[in-house]
Amino acid sequence: MNEINRPHSMEARENLLREAENVLQQIMDSGVAEDSIAEQMQRFKAGFAFTRLARPCTPGDGIKRIPVEDRPRLISVFHRAMGVGRVTKFVPASGAATRMFKSLLALYGRGDQEDCLQGEDADSLFGKVFFASLDKFAFYGELADVMDNNGVSLAHCLANADYKTILRYTLKPEGLNYGQLPKGLIPFHKYKKVSRTPFAEHVAEAVEYATDNQGKARIHFTVGPEHRQAIEKHVSRILTSYPDIRFEVSYSEQKTQTNTIAVDLSNEGFRSRDGKLLFRPAGHGALLVNLNELQADLVFLKNIDNVVPDRLKGDTFEFKKVLGGLLVELQNKTFDYVRLLKRSLPDGKMLSAMAEFAVSDLSIVLPENYAHMTGEEKAEFFSVMFNRPMRICGMVKNQGDPGGGPFWVYGTNGLATPQIVEKSQVDLDDSSQAACLASATHFNPVDIVCGVRDSEGRPFDLMERIDEETGFISIKSKDGQELKALELPGLWNGSMADWITVFVEVPLSTFSPVKTVNDLLKPEHQP
């Protein structure tokens, strides 16, 4: 009997060996380290602990309001730093416009139905608004031209309610291909002679607050590899509109080593239809590697779709400079203290001044036993707390937008720190935590200026400042099958958890995101 079964056992072992070799090769090809994959698989099983909210940050309790009379001084401080070339603008720009055109893509997918706007469902209502206002979009002329070049009249299609044809030339490769392009390449704003994409608007912003005394402006875009060539060509054309500015534009892509493995609902490696393991981009937190490698000094971080036309840029320009000036001012004082702490043990009066500065200016909470600590212990505490990357985060009043907000969050040491927290990080089954989340007065628009060098001018290693417990697991689908996806701690959430964080209230006018194409019909995006 053993002799009969032996060949089958050998065959089974050989199959297992081939499968193991196949899996090993896929892991090697993925670019993700084996130990990282092992940690990710364990994380799927263990999950993440929820963030413990203490209370929302509010004006006077975690959110600063900059008095009008202080703004000129801070702007002057910023201009000096900008003038000597310290400023870089960092824009995550790899996001596709698929979500922006989600409803239109759904309408186009409705078979051969002549009138794709039949019904009163959300997509149909969205489409009706879109077509009724088509001539108000900055890309209207470009759409008419591409249709005309293919022997099709946009006006005739509108008159005859041939919406499917218009959608085809808006969304598909034979036309504008907006269903596949990055959001940054979609024309957002119409001017007298030209239209501008988000890339063009960000370049215009950089000219104002990222240009040094030598006329050099520094911008960094993170982009998807499949669109990088088109983006670089597009941005190169934009730069010709500013002959007096020398641009230093750099690009990077999300690193493959930051991808995460996907699993099925049983926490086993998910396999696509071709039988291969699936590795996915791990969210915007993966871009911390790009920011770290940039090794810049003062970095303005802002999303690609949060732009306005020139006529509304005044508040944006003013508050970018105010936030930047505040960062420099706080950095200078922090650096002075760091240098002092390295030289000698400060006396009691100086330690008291440091404590006041830490609490009032940097939103640092002192340990409960601070009053009983020795001078040496206090000095050690401040040496650690002051010698960290710093970020000043603009916050707008909450208007019900989905996304993160500013909260005091309990750390593992029991101390509360100011953090940007997403809904997915909170235990909504805990009524007190859900109530705390709902009581937030402010919203995170991703309007951040980062100081990423230390008192000696050396770049911090930002990878050492991540709270690994702030990632999360989401349910996605591929090929009609559900899977679990692992998201790294967000770029402005857990990835910056151990930074000095200061929240500042900024006007709502500085926040004008475009999440759907119909958002471009809002007054702030119209001429």
**Would you state the pLDDT for residue 316?**
97
**Would you state the pLDDT for residue 17?**
60
User: Three-state SS for 407?
Assistant: strand
Q: Is pLDDT at 15 greater than 70 in this prediction?
A: no
Q: Which residues in the chain are classed under CATH 3.90.550.10?
A: 53-98+191-525
Q: From edge to edge, which strands make up the β-sheet containing 416-421?
A: 53-56, 405-410, 416-421
- What value does the mean pLDDT take over residues 46-57? 93
- What value does the mean pLDDT take over residues 136-152? 97
**Would you state the pLDDT for residue 4?**
43
CB atoms within 10 A of CB 351: 18
DSSP string, 335-389: HHHHHHHHHS---HHHHHHHHHHHHHHH-PPPPTTGGGS-HHHHHHHHHHHHSS-
Place of tokens 């790009």: 290
CB atoms within 10 A of CB 93: 24
How confident is residue 305, by pLDDT bands cut at 50, 70 and 90?
very high
27: tokens are 């892991």
How confident is residue 159, by pLDDT bands cut at 50, 70 and 90?
very high
**Would you state the pLDDT for residue 23?**
58
User: Three-state SS for 317?
Assistant: helix
Whole-angstrom distance, CA of residue 306 vs CA of residue 324? 18
Q: Is pLDDT at 36 greater than 80 in this prediction?
A: yes
Give CATH for domain 53-98+191-525: 3.90.550.10
Q: Is pLDDT at 19 greater than 70 in this prediction?
A: no
Please say whether the beta carbons of 220 and 90 come within 8 A.
yes
**Would you state the pLDDT for residue 404?**
86
Question: For residue 168, what are the contacts with CB-CB under 8 A and spacing of at least 6?
Answer: 108, 174, 175
- How confident is the prediction for the chain on average, in pLDDT? 92
* CA proximity to 171, closest of 230, 98, 229: 98
Question: For residue 320, what are the contacts with CB-CB under 8 A and spacing of at least 6?
Answer: 205, 208, 209, 300, 447, 449
Whole-angstrom distance, CA of residue 39 vs CA of residue 29? 18
pTM of the model: 0.91
Burial of 47 (0-12, 13-18, 19+ CB in 10 A): exposed
How confident is residue 111, by pLDDT bands cut at 50, 70 and 90?
low
